[in-house]
């Protein structure tokens, strides 16, 4: 390792450990070697129609927060929106986007996960039918300019000092969470202000935004106004956890409900699925290693399966009607309070079936499980009694 002074122009890294040399002996950043590609140019759009179209009007609470976001941005404040799962976070920034677009300013919506980019792009196209909505992610990057850019956090390296308004969704999701490189890339893309969205912000996220000329807005009501499903903890020993999982799965399927069974690891998932599938046939197992995972999820949505055993890949971003949730080995150290809240938040999202059930199964009723249940209870109390945290 040579000692040189080199600072990566993309991520700001200057640690010699991550600096390599090419054949011409020029230094480069190892962290960013995959992030080399065209940079976006700042073209002023010639679009004049930024009309907003919504299939459903925002709820009163959503509207209130949407207005507050806009006024804070106009005052040049940054915003962190702490909105519970199923609150309809994306819709909260439409008004602000419209405002910026009408002033010919640059807006973007970034998220750590490619799946979410793919999912959100048609929603932005519906909401802004006259706008050029462009999505940018790993293997889908050729056009970098448009009216509204929907992109993964990795792709932000193309946009140096670019966005008048950048929204960052799911700030606590992998791979963004705790990733200094991505955080620097995000910082560098901001020209004006930013909005962060999260259902489970950490106390350090809240502290940081307050120190950065920012405010925190809270939305603890789902758009359909029903309570968040409160998880029930079921205790078992190593073997009886399997039987209890089977019991609840059978019960839900009998009621014609669909079920996600979350498992902490791929190995545990495979072992659980081979057990469950002996008794209940129409299910499947899905993980990040599964090449056909989008197909499996699509088939589940279409009703080919009644249950899916899954790793945390379905922890976020998925909305399925009449879905019940079981977390097998919820006491595994892989889960923390935030991930348990996210997972529980998959249930009861649809207006036609707003009251799903959530079952946590484990050997130990540990602190993370307790905290997650207490937190969800608190959100419901704030919503129902107007109690302020
Ligand atoms: Zn770098």
Please state the three-class secondary structure of the chain as a single string: CCCCCCCCCCCCCCCHHHEEECCCCCEEECCCCCCCCCCCCCCCCCCCCCCCCCCCCCCHHHHHHHHHHHHHHHCCCEEEEEECCCCCCHHHHHHHHHHHHHCCCCEEEEECCHHHHHHHHHHHHHHCCCCCEEEEECCECCCCCCCEEEEEHHHHHHCCCCEEEEEEECCCCCCCCCCHHHHHHHHHHEEEEEEEEECCCCHHHHHHHHHCCEEEEEECCCCCCCCCCCCEEEECCCCHHHHHHHHHHHHHHHCCCEEEEECCCHHHHHHHHHHHHHHCCCEEEECCCCCCHHHHHHHHHCCCCCEEEECHHHCCCCCCCCEEEEEECCCCCCCCHHHHHHHHCCCCCECCECCCCEEEEECCCCHHHHHHHHHHHHHHHHHHHCCCC
Handedness of CA 85, 87, 88, 92 (dihedral sign): negative
* Number of folded domains that form the chain: 3
Q: What distance in angstroms lies between residue 83's CA and the mean position of ligand 1's atoms?
A: 32
Does 333 share its domain with 303? yes
Rounded to 10°, the helix 60-74/94-102 angle is: 40
Residue 225 lies in a domain: no
Residue 166 and residue 158: Cα distance in Å, rounded?
14
Residue 326 and residue 367: Cα distance in Å, rounded?
18
Does 295 share its domain with 212? no
So what's the pLDDT on residue 1? 56
So what's the pLDDT on residue 36? 73
Q: What distance in angstroms lies between residue 110's CA and the mean position of ligand 1's atoms?
A: 19
Does 169 share its domain with 293? no
Residue 119 and residue 115: Cα distance in Å, rounded?
6
Q: What distance in angstroms lies between residue 205's CA and the mean position of ligand 1's atoms?
A: 23
Q: What distance in angstroms lies between residue 160's CA and the mean position of ligand 1's atoms?
A: 13
Q: What distance in angstroms lies between residue 341's CA and the mean position of ligand 1's atoms?
A: 33
The CATH number of residue 69's host domain is 3.40.50.300
Handedness of CA 228, 233, 239, 243 (dihedral sign): negative
So what's the pLDDT on residue 41? 81
Residue 304 lies in a domain: yes
Ligand 1 is an ion; residues with CB less than 5 A from it: 8, 10-11, 13, 29, 31-32
So what's the pLDDT on residue 388? 60
Does 239 share its domain with 124? no
Residue 320 lies in a domain: yes
Q: What distance in angstroms lies between residue 268's CA and the mean position of ligand 1's atoms?
A: 36
Does 85 share its domain with 22? no
Q: What distance in angstroms lies between residue 36's CA and the mean position of ligand 1's atoms?
A: 10
So what's the pLDDT on residue 9? 84
Q: What distance in angstroms lies between residue 291's CA and the mean position of ligand 1's atoms?
A: 30
Identify the domain containing residue 9 by its residue range.
1-30
Does 205 share its domain with 326? no
Residue 381 and residue 378: Cα distance in Å, rounded?
5
Does 165 share its domain with 215? yes
Q: What distance in angstroms lies between residue 179's CA and the mean position of ligand 1's atoms?
A: 12
Residue 152 and residue 37: Cα distance in Å, rounded?
15
So what's the pLDDT on residue 3? 67
Residue 48 lies in a domain: no
Does 199 share its domain with 237? no
| Residue that terminates a domain, selected from 196, 219, 242 | 219
Q: What distance in angstroms lies between residue 15's CA and the mean position of ligand 1's atoms?
A: 10
So what's the pLDDT on residue 371? 97
Residue 230 and residue 376: Cα distance in Å, rounded?
7
> Is the Cβ–Cβ distance between 335 and 341 less than 8 Å?
no
Q: What distance in angstroms lies between residue 113's CA and the mean position of ligand 1's atoms?
A: 20
pLDDT in tens, the chain (389 residues): 566 788 888 888 888 888 888 888 888 888 887 777 788 887 777 777 899 999 889 999 999 999 999 999 999 999 999 999 999 999 999 999 999 999 999 999 999 988 889 889 999 999 999 999 999 998 777 888 999 999 999 999 999 999 999 999 999 888 898 899 999 999 999 999 999 999 999 999 999 999 999 999 999 999 999 999 999 999 999 999 999 999 999 999 999 999 999 999 999 999 999 999 999 999 999 998 887 888 898 899 899 999 999 998 888 877 888 999 999 999 999 999 999 999 999 999 998 999 999 999 999 999 999 999 999 999 999 999 876 65
Q: What distance in angstroms lies between residue 119's CA and the mean position of ligand 1's atoms?
A: 29
Residue 264 lies in a domain: yes
Q: What distance in angstroms lies between residue 332's CA and the mean position of ligand 1's atoms?
A: 34
Does 257 share its domain with 203? no
Residue 130 lies in a domain: yes
Say how many CA atoms lie within 13 Å of 197 toward its Cβ.
25
Does 126 share its domain with 86? yes
Residue 41 lies in a domain: no
| Residue that terminates a domain, selected from 187, 219, 251 | 219
Does 330 share its domain with 251? yes
Rg of the chain over CA atoms, in angstroms? Answer: 22
What token pair was written down for 40?
């976006």
Work out the burial of residue 68: count CB atoms within 10 Å of its CB; fewer than 13 is exposed, 13-18 middle, 19 or more buried: middle
Q: What distance in angstroms lies between residue 11's CA and the mean position of ligand 1's atoms?
A: 4
User: What's the length of the chain?
Assistant: 389
Q: What distance in angstroms lies between residue 44's CA and the mean position of ligand 1's atoms?
A: 29
Residue 49 lies in a domain: no
Does 214 share its domain with 246? no
Q: What distance in angstroms lies between residue 34's CA and the mean position of ligand 1's atoms?
A: 10
| Residue that terminates a domain, selected from 185, 219, 253 | 219
Q: Is the peptide bond before 282 cis (omega within 30 degrees of 0)?
A: no
Q: What distance in angstroms lies between residue 339's CA and the mean position of ligand 1's atoms?
A: 29
Q: What distance in angstroms lies between residue 20's CA and the mean position of ligand 1's atoms?
A: 11
């Amino acid at each position: 390792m040579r000692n040189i002074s080199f600072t990566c122009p993309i991520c700001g890294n200057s640690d010699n450990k991550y600096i390599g040399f090419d054949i011409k002996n020029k230094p480069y950043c190892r962290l960013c070697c995959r992030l080399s590609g065209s940079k976006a140019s700042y073209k002023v759009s010639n679009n004049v129609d930024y009309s907003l179209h919504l299939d459903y009007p925002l709820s009163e609470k959503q509207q209130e927060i949407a207005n507050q976001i806009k006024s804070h941005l106009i005052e040049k404040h940054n915003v962190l929106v702490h909105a519970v799962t199923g609150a309809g976070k994306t819709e909260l920034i439409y008004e602000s986007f419209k405002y910026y677009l009408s002033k010919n300013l640059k807006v973007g919506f970034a998220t750590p996960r490619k799946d979410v980019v793919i999912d959100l792009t048609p929603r932005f196209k519906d909401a802004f039918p006259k706008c050029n909505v462009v999505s940018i992610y790993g293997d889908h990057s050729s056009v970098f300019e448009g009216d509204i850019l929907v992109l993964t956090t990795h792709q932000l390296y193309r946009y140096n000092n670019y966005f008048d308004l950048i929204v960052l969704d799911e700030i606590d999701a992998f791979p963004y969470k705790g990733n200094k490189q991505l955080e620097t890339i995000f910082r560098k893309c901001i020209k004006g202000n930013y909005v962060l969205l999260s259902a489970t912000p950490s106390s350090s996220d809240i502290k940081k935004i307050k120190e950065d000329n920012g405010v925190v807005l809270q939305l603890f009501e789902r758009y359909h106004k029903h309570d968040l499903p409160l998880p029930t903890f079921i205790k078992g020993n190593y073997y009886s956890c399997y039987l209890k999982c089977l019991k609840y799965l059978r019960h839900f399927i009998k009621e014609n409900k669909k079920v996600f069974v979350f498992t902490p690891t791929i190995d545990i998932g495979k072992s659980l699925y081979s057990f469950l599938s002996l008794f209940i046939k129409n299910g499947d197992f899905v993980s990040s290693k599964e090449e056909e995972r989008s197909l499996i999820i699509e088939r589940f949505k279409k009703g080919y399966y009644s249950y899916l055993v899954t790793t945390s890949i379905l922890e976020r971003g998925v909305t399925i009607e009449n879905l019940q949730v079981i977390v097998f080995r919820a006491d595994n150290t892989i889960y923390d309070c935030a991930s348990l809240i996210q997972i529980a938040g998959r249930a009861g999202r649809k207006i036609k079936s707003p009251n799903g059930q959530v079952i946590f199964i484990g050997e130990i009723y540990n602190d993370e499980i307790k905290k997650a249940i207490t937190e969800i209870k608190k959100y419901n109390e704030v919503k129902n009694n107007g109690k302020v945290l």
